[in-house]
Chain A
Amino acid sequence: MKNVNRREFIKKLGIGAVATGGLLTSGTIIASPSRMELPDPYPELPDGKPAIPPYNEQALFLNEHQYALVATLAAIIVPEDEHPGANEAVIVDDIDRFVADSKEKQEIYTEGLKWMDEISREEYGKDFLALDLKEQIGLLSRIDEAETMRNRPVTGFMERVDRKADEIWDDLFGIGESSNFFRVIHKDVLVAYFSHPISWNVIGYYGPPQPVGYLDFSEPPSPKKYTGAIRKVSNKTCLICHGEGTKNDRGELHEKGKLIDNTCKTCHPPHSPWPRIGGFSK
Chain B
Amino acid sequence: MTNSLKKVDACIIGSGAGGGVVAKELAEKGMNVVVLEAGRRMDPLQDYTAARPDWWTARKNEKFTVAALNKVTFGTKGTSRPTMVHGVGGGTLRYLAYAVRMVPDDFHTYSTDGVGMDWPITYEELVPYYRKVEVELGVSGKAGNPWTPLVEPYLNPAFPYSYANKIIKRGCDRLGIRLWPTPMARLSRPFDGRPMCVQCGDCAGGCMSGAKSSADITYLPKAEATGKLVIQPECIATRINTDTHGKAKSVIYIDKSGVEHEQEADVIVVSAGVIQSSRLLLNSMSKLFPDGLANSSGLVGKYFMQHLSMHSSAIFPDRIDSYRGFFGGATSQDFARTNPNSPFARGWCNELHSGITNPVQLALHKSNWGAQLKDRMRSTFGHSAGITNVGEQLPDERNCIELDPEVRDEYGIPVPRINFAPRQNDRLMLKAMKKNLIEIYDAAKATEILYMHYKPGGSAHNYGGCRMGNDPKSSVLNSFCQSHDVSNLFVVDASCFVTTGTANPSLTIQAIAVRSSEYIVDQYKKRNI
The chain A residues found within 8 Å of chain B, CB to CB, are 23-24, 26-32, 35, 38-44, 46, 76-79, 81, 83, 85, 137, 140, 144, 148, 183, 186-187, 190-191, 193-197, 199-200, 202-221, 223, 226, 240-241, 246-249, 263, 266-269, 271-275, 277-280, 282
Task: Please tell me the size bucket of the interface on B.
Answer: 35 or more
Q: Cβ of A217 and Cβ of B193 under 8 Å apart?
A: no
B117 shortest CB reach to chain A, Å: 34
Q: Cβ of A186 and Cβ of B369 under 8 Å apart?
A: yes
Q: Cβ of A220 and Cβ of B44 under 8 Å apart?
A: no
Cα–Cα distance between A208 and B56 once the two chains are bound (Å): 9
Q: Cβ of B372 and Cβ of A208 under 8 Å apart?
A: no
Decide if B75 is an interface residue (CB 8 Å cutoff).
no
Q: Which of A29, A78, A206, A240 contacts B323 (CB 8 A)?
A: A206
Decide if B397 is an interface residue (CB 8 Å cutoff).
no
What chain A residues lie within 8 Å of B373 (beta carbons)?
41, 77-78, 190
What chain B residues lie within 8 Å of A77 (beta carbons)?
369-370, 373
B353 shortest CB reach to chain A, Å: 12
Decide if B374 is an interface residue (CB 8 Å cutoff).
yes
- Contacts A144-B367, A190-B360, A277-B221 known; A204 to B381 CB distance under 8 Å? yes
Cα–Cα distance between A203 and B198 once the two chains are bound (Å): 23
Chain B, residues 149-167, CB within 8 Å of chain A (1/0): the string is 0000000000011110010
The chain B residues found within 8 Å of chain A, CB to CB, are 41, 43-45, 48, 50-57, 88, 160-163, 166, 189-191, 193-202, 208-210, 216-217, 220-222, 224-225, 231, 314, 319-321, 323-326, 358-360, 363-364, 366-374, 377-378, 381-382, 434-435, 438, 441-442, 445-452
What chain B residues lie within 8 Å of A269 (beta carbons)?
190, 193
Q: Which of A23, A28, A212, A248 contacts B447 (CB 8 A)?
A: A28
What chain A residues lie within 8 Å of B314 (beta carbons)?
29
Q: Cβ of A204 and Cβ of B319 under 8 Å apart?
A: yes
Q: Which of B197, B216, B324, B374 contacts A78 (CB 8 A)?
A: B374
Q: Which of A28, A187, A216 contacts B442 (CB 8 A)?
A: A28
What chain A residues lie within 8 Å of B450 (beta carbons)?
32
Q: Cβ of A214 and Cβ of B447 under 8 Å apart?
A: no
Q: Which of B189, B209, B363 contacts A211 (CB 8 A)?
A: B209
Q: Cβ of B359 and Cβ of A200 under 8 Å apart?
A: yes
What chain A residues lie within 8 Å of B191 (beta carbons)?
249
What chain B residues lie within 8 Å of A43 (beta carbons)?
371-372
Cα–Cα distance between A44 and B209 once the two chains are bound (Å): 47
Q: Which of B44, B325, B438 contacts A26 (CB 8 A)?
A: B438
- Contacts A38-B368, A144-B369 known; A279 to B448 CB distance under 8 Å? no
A252 shortest CB reach to chain B, Å: 10
Q: Which of A79, A217, A226 contacts B162 (CB 8 A)?
A: A217
Cα–Cα distance between A199 and B54 once the two chains are bound (Å): 12
Q: Cβ of B210 and Cβ of A32 under 8 Å apart?
A: no
A133 shortest CB reach to chain B, Å: 11
B80 shortest CB reach to chain A, Å: 12
What chain A residues lie within 8 Å of B48 (beta carbons)?
210
Q: Cβ of B359 and Cβ of A223 under 8 Å apart?
A: no
Q: Cβ of B438 and Cβ of A29 under 8 Å apart?
A: yes
Q: Which residue of B lies closest to A192 (CB)?
A: B54
Known: A212-B198, A247-B190. 6 other contacts (CB 8 A): A30-B447, A217-B163, A240-B198, A272-B193, A279-B221, A280-B41
Q: Give me the 6 closest cross-chain CB pairs, A-B, nearest first.
A: A217-B325, A213-B198, A41-B370, A278-B221, A209-B200, A214-B324
What chain B residues lie within 8 Å of A248 (beta carbons)?
189-190
Q: Which residue of A lies closest to B372 (CB)?
A: A41
Q: Cβ of A277 and Cβ of B225 under 8 Å apart?
A: yes
Q: Cβ of A203 and Cβ of B372 under 8 Å apart?
A: no
Cα–Cα distance between A273 and B24 once the two chains are bound (Å): 15
Most buried by A among B191, B194, B367, B381: B367
Q: Cβ of B190 and Cβ of A249 under 8 Å apart?
A: yes
Q: Cβ of A274 and Cβ of B359 under 8 Å apart?
A: no
- Contacts A211-B51, A213-B199, A280-B43 known; A41 to B448 CB distance under 8 Å? no
B45 shortest CB reach to chain A, Å: 7
21 contacts between A and B (CB under 8 A): A41-B372, A148-B367, A186-B367, A190-B363, A191-B364, A202-B378, A206-B323, A211-B51, A214-B201, A217-B325, A218-B162, A218-B325, A221-B320, A241-B198, A248-B190, A249-B189, A263-B195, A274-B221, A275-B210, A278-B216, A282-B43
Q: Cβ of A218 and Cβ of B367 under 8 Å apart?
A: no
Q: Cβ of A278 and Cβ of B368 under 8 Å apart?
A: no
- Contacts A81-B374, A204-B381, A249-B190 known; A214 to B199 CB distance under 8 Å? yes
Q: Which of A27, A206, A210 contacts B51 (CB 8 A)?
A: A210
Q: Which residue of B lies closest to A274 (CB)?
A: B210
Q: Which residue of A lies closest to B55 (CB)?
A: A208
Q: Cβ of A206 and Cβ of B324 under 8 Å apart?
A: yes
What chain A residues lie within 8 Å of B368 (beta carbons)?
38, 41
Q: Which of B210, B326, B438, B442 contacts A272 (CB 8 A)?
A: B210
